[in-house]
Amino acid sequence: MNWFKKPSSAPLRKVVLSIISINVIVMIMIEQYLASFVFASIVFGDIYTNYRNKTKKVDKEISADVTEEMAKKIVEDARMHRIARKNIEKNE
């Protein structure tokens, strides 16, 4: 799974970013500035990517034909579901 393109669950992401942030502070304290810079870049890169993906708007119009076919599919699925429920109720 690519962490930047499709991140995992939000709580897991927050935990990992918190651990990396603590790692940045520890690296600064032990004067490992290059490692600190690398980890800070990972944290800020992830935050920026997440922000950019949230603010990106997708304005795709769905054609009338596609909308009609989707509605037909939903109606057909609902009808099949009702039939299946009636069969289950008859068997009980």
Is 1 a residue whose pLDDT tops 60?
A: no
CA distance 33 to 38: 9
Q: Quote the tokens at residue 14.
A: 């927050």
Distance of CA 60 to the CA centre of its chain: 20
**Percentage above 90 pLDDT, the chain:** 21
Q: What is the pLDDT of residue 82?
A: 93
Tens of pLDDT, residues 61-92:
888 899 999 999 999 999 999 999 988 888 77
Which residues are within 8 A (CB) of 13 and not within 5 positions of it... i.e. 6 or more apart? Answer: 7, 46
Weakest-pLDDT range from 8-12, 36-40, 78-82, 84-88 = 8-12
**Percentage above 70 pLDDT, the chain:** 85
